[in-house]
Structure 1
Amino acid sequence: MAPSQNLDAEGITRRQSLAALAGAGALGLAGCTQSTGNGGDGGDGSGDGSGSLSGSINIAGSSTVFPLMSAILEDFAEQHPDVDPDISQTGSGGGFSNYFCVGETDFNNASRPIQPEEEELCGENDVEYIELVAATDALTIVVNPEADWIDSLTIEELASIWRSDAVETWDEVRDDFPNEEIERFGAADTSGTYDYFIENVMGDEGHTDDYSATEKDNAIAEGVAGSEYAIGYFGFAYYFQNPDQLKALEIDSGDGPVEPNLETAASGEYSPLSRSLFTYPSMESLGEEHIAEFARYFVEQTTNEDLVAGDVGYVPATEETQEEQMQKLEDAIEEAQG
């Protein structure tokens, strides 16, 4: 089983925990503290709120999807106290290769689609699955808030900082930047965010090894907040929860600088760094009623603006997308339980 966090429904609420963290100047995010939550306008996972479901739910994968999945999982566990949830941040690839595709977890969260080698590994271990869209993210580039000399970067400048033969000082990126060494904080190579960043920013030039790599996005936030000449990248939720400790850069992909936010991610204007987020339930797990009900609850909550946008910081799914995902899920459940 992956290193994990059990969710206890007897803690403080998500909103209370976020407010407390902000007041203390800490770098926190939704879902990383023990908490209860408000199920919003979705269902309760069983239709009657009886809490009669029981069993474990084991989830690994993307640190980007983690705050959304953990928030929804908290709500479901509060309504069903006999359900035992367990969730960990292993990175999309780490989750697929080490846990999900070898049959050890029920869901794998991912910030990019499953890759061919992961599909092959799942096939070798008879792990069947479906892909569900969770939300839309704006992959966000952050610097220290004291860095008043920078507000935006072009894609080419961003690539020069992160490619395999990366520049070493800020003035090598742009002449009027300071002659100071760049300190980098980013995703580990087991992360879907790492894969997405290479594909959409650096391409064949690859990713530098000269950086602090981690699967914990809050560690990236802490690193950048603690160093005036640092830069990092992660999902928008981690900036959304820490706007006073970090500064988000606008990104210019050819039509002028665009700010990362929910609106530009939803419209596609924040290109190429807006992206879909996913979760993958296994077919075998969907054969268990408590896991099938949680999967339904998860899809119901993907349109919950208060939770997805307001609490976590991602773009909710459209009603049309939700309907499509629910039909895919119901077909899979019928097959798994047939």
Structure 2
Amino acid sequence: MKAVVITGQGGPGVLEVREVPTPEAGGDLIRVRVRACGVNRADLLQARGHYPAPPGVPVDIPGLEFAGEVEAVGPAVAGQVKVGDRVFGIVAGGAQAEFLVTHPRMVVAIPSNLDFEAAAAVPEVFITAHDALTTQGRLAPGERVLIHAAGSGVGTAAVQIARAMGCTVLGTSRTAEKLERARALGLDVAIVNADGAFADAVNEQTQGKGVEVVLDLIGGQALAGNLAVLAKRGRLVVVGLLSGSKAEIDLGVLLGKRIMVVGTTLRGRPLEEKIAAVRLFEAQVVPWLERGVVKPVVDSVFALEDVRDAYSRMASNEGFGKVILRL
């Protein structure tokens, strides 16, 4: 099969499309013929040597999400899926290839209103955002939530999920253009955050009440501002570290407001935990996708052979939504 292969450590130039062995669907696994897959920041980090694949997945084939058709099922797969089913889902690596193998409970039927390219823009960002907001952050309908990097893949998904829950959605971005586009997805309050000084604007917009939840894809430099805008018993959920992994924390603010801080990733979780997140996504978010309450946001689509251009687009930080590879 054809697959994207990381041949060294560095930027898009270390990526090549090569012929590699096709994986077998043995035991309780299924094989999916991938029709489209997403490009994520984690893939960039893996290519640079900063985010190695966990045990049990291809070490040199990136890709965390896919959309395609079930092509084969292992002998121990008991009727959960069948050959020909259109499915999408997340994996810990290996999705940027013509075929992959995965557990049948890690895939979800693609809604009929989505083609493969749109479907490939869903799993990683919507499962991450939904898990971070509802399971980790305990976001409740009607609460206020601040979403950093609202124009990113996870950001655009989180804005839509929070809106669907009836929350007041505040969002930051470095550019006014991305915030304006996010308004169409349900962003209520747009805050340009070019220099990290967002706290005053958030508190002004909330009349000093702050927000119950912050979804942080920035990390480092945002910590002090996040604590400043959280209401009492607020929850800070850290998903990304775009501005670095270290920051000084004022423990007095943390204690005084009784703030809960949660760090979360999906890739390295045990299979059972990932299955639980996928099934909650299936139960709560997929019906919204079917009704058009939430929708994939596709920035651009590239052929597999143009993978270097796709990674360059992701690295530019100029996109709005997801970068997709078509197979």
For normalisation by structure 2, the TM-score amounts to: 0.28
Flag the structure with more relative contact order, 1 or 2, with Cα contacts below 8 A and sequence separation at least 6: 1
Structure 1 or 2: more strand by fraction: 2
**TM-score under structure 1 length normalisation:** 0.27
